[in-house]
Structure 1
Amino acid sequence: MKKAVVPILLALMLALSACGNKAANEGASNAGSANAPAGNGAANEATGTNAAAGSNASSGNAAGSAAEAPSGTVTYQSENGPVEVPAHPQRIVGLTNAPNVVSLGGTLVGVDEWTNKNPLFTDKLKGVQIVSENDLEKIIELQPDLIIAGSYMKNLDKLKEIAPTVVYTWGKLDYLKQQVEIGKLLGKEKEAQAWVDDFTLRAAETGKAIKAKIGENATVTVFETDNKDFYVFGNNWARGTELLYQAMGLSMQEKVKKDALGPGYYTLSPEVLSQYAGDYVVLSRSSASDNAIMKTAAWTNVPAVKNKRVIEIDTEASSYSDPTTLEYLLDIFKKGFLGS
């Protein structure tokens, strides 16, 4: 689209959609709220204060199958109703679920800033523009044939004027069903389902091997620190939580179940870390942060720390639950728990 036309088209589009337009659900974006660690987008596309689905996530009844339609399009049954989308989209703007798209080899032309910051996707996103739901003119210039957005985002009606827009509500589907849905959307359902079947089997086998080594009842706790606060996570807030607790079937410490399983995460003061720490600890922290908090008595007195049962993961590379991230974490946990 010629650049001179863009402002005119944008102005017309905004005028047409202005009446009755209200901001969508103002829940936090995938990057998380000001007071919460980035979630899973999703996860975790990271999740902020979006309501976590907890252990009932897999019962969500969101998007269904895609039915063939003429003119190289398919009718995708989204959670908001049928959407006519390209059978094989070539220019995707992923405001959410971009890691799922990348994992299936989809072609992104626009991506959210959090996925762009993730070191697992750096090479795969070279030349891809960083956009948000507010960058309407920039998105128009990218000429997308498909936009993937979150139900909490603003400007959904305006995005739909630019290109077919499919909306997902974080947590409505579990992490495996979400990948299959992205597969349906991209015309790659078989590939997505094949990965799910294979990964589920491999993760379960790894979980059995880990429990055989550390004990059936040994507990694992996932902490995160940003050098100011500590967080503890439930079973669906990225950082490998879906993998550890759902896929591998490892046990969660009782106090973590009580405080973090429902909301997804729980903020802790350093003084109570030992009360939430399991026999083993997975610690998520930024590779760019300093180590000062790791030298405090509050941390060094945690039994798992004393016993050298801590597995560290990089927060920036662990805040999603897509295939690329899960395969990366599966390898880390194999080495951390099994030494291989």
Structure 2
Amino acid sequence: MKKRFILLFSILILVLSACNTNDEKQEDNDKAASDNEKDTITYESEDGPVEVPADPQRVVVLSQFAGDLIKLGVHVVGADSWAKDNPRFEELKDAATVSEDNLEQIIELEPDLIIGLSSTKNIDKLKEIAPTVTFTYGKAGYLDQHIEIGKLVNKEEEARKWVESFEKEAKDIGKQIKDKIGKDATVSVIEKFDKQWYVFGDNWGRGTEILYQAMGLNMPESVKEQALKDGYYALSEEVIPDFAGDYLIVSDQSGAEDTSYLESDTFQNIPAVQNDHIFVVNGKEFYFNDASTLEYQLEFFKEKFLGE
């Protein structure tokens, strides 16, 4: 009887030991599965779901989204020349200047995520290097675009909080500006690029999204007619007065170092210039509508319009 008891007890111990071992293995498997799930996320891109790193460490940006990644604290190892030329993007000082034409250079950077536009060249080849996500310019609103970048790099909550804060601040500053310059005052945004001049609508960077969308400031009728639909309109210096509002923002791609053109008869006869309502900005700093640039543009407008 005693031997039978000992035998049964031994069998019970073996069964319990086996169960514990299986439970431990299952826990390890569950933990491993959980860890693997954290390694990647699925982003719903314009072209369908894409598996991307949950915490990207080596991002290559072939478009205007570098400032969004900077604002979200994401490490960029390669950026296009436009972003690299922005003197305010100090976070990119160690990043390589890349283009979609130099695939070998991108391979050498060993990116874990590539971001571009739908018009970017060699997209299929880029996808062979690393998960690649592209966006169509203007398909998402300028603030929604920041949220999309946030989703892509697994920082949606941070992106949404920034958008909420920015919208509130821009609206408040816009109200102060309207109260100061008058609700009917008009604002124009023009740019000097090489020898060509352009005037812009309400969604082409250079602060247009803030002035016209966030703040609701007025656009001259001539600008509405020519630039609102396409986003921009090319013009000669001689006709700039026809598109100048009560206030004139000049984005200068030369870096705003040579503003001798302001001394020409064309500019000197513009009421905005005569009234000292002209603000010249470094176009390299003012170019895009990413989160980092939007913050800078907003502070610029606050200082220039309100004297703060």
TM above 0.5: yes
Q: Residue 236 of structure 1: which of 184, 199, 203 is its match?
A: 203
Match in the other structure for 1:141: 108
Distance 2:293 2:184 in 1: 27
In terms of fraction of residues, the more helix-rich structure is 2
Structure 1 residue 225: Cα displacement:
1.6
Matched, 1:213 2:180: yes
Match in the other structure for 2:8: none
Distance 1:129 1:170 in 2: 23
Distance 2:189 2:38 in 1: 48
Deviations, residues 181-216 of structure 1 (Å, cap 9, x unaligned): 000111110010000000001000111111011111
Mapping for residues 176-195 of structure 1, pairs under 5 Å: 176-195=143-162
Match in the other structure for 1:157: 124
Match in the other structure for 2:170: 203
How many residues in Structure 1 have an aligned counterpart in Structure 2? 272
Deviations, residues 213-241 of structure 1 (Å, cap 9, x unaligned): 11111100111123622211100111100
Mapping for residues 260-275 of structure 1, pairs under 5 Å: 260-275=227-242
The AA in structure 2 aligned to 1:198 is S
Deviations, residues 154-199 of structure 1 (Å, cap 9, x unaligned): 1111110011001111111111000000001111100100000000
Matched position secondary structure for 2:88: coil
Identity %: 52
Q: Residue 293 of structure 1: which of 251, 261, 270 is its match?
A: 261
Structure 1 residue 86: Cα displacement:
0.7
Distance 2:184 2:195 in 1: 32
Matched position secondary structure for 1:70: helix
Structure 1 residue 291: Cα displacement:
2.5
Match in the other structure for 1:80: 47
Where structure 1 has 5 or more consecutive residues not aligned to the other structure, the ranges are 1-67
Distance 2:60 2:240 in 1: 40
When Rg is computed on C-alpha atoms for both structures, the one with the higher figure is 2
Where structure 2 has 5 or more consecutive residues not aligned to the other structure, the ranges are 1-34
Match in the other structure for 2:303: 335
Q: Is 2:84–2:93's contact at 8 Å kept on the other side of the alignment?
A: no
Matched, 1:104 2:102: no
Distance 2:273 2:125 in 1: 51
Q: Is 2:256–2:282's contact at 8 Å kept on the other side of the alignment?
A: no
Q: Is 1:239–1:320's contact at 8 Å kept on the other side of the alignment?
A: yes
Match in the other structure for 2:193: 226
Match in the other structure for 2:93: 126
The answer to which of 282-291 and 165-174 deviates more is 282-291
Q: Is 1:219–1:253's contact at 8 Å kept on the other side of the alignment?
A: yes
Normalised to the residue count of structure 1, the TM-score between the two structures is 0.78
Match in the other structure for 2:21: none
Q: Residue 81 of structure 2: which of 83, 107, 113 is its match?
A: 113
Higher relative contact order structure (alpha carbons within 8 Å, sequence separation ≥ 6): 1
Distance verdict in 2 for CA 1:208–1:71, change over 3 Å: closer
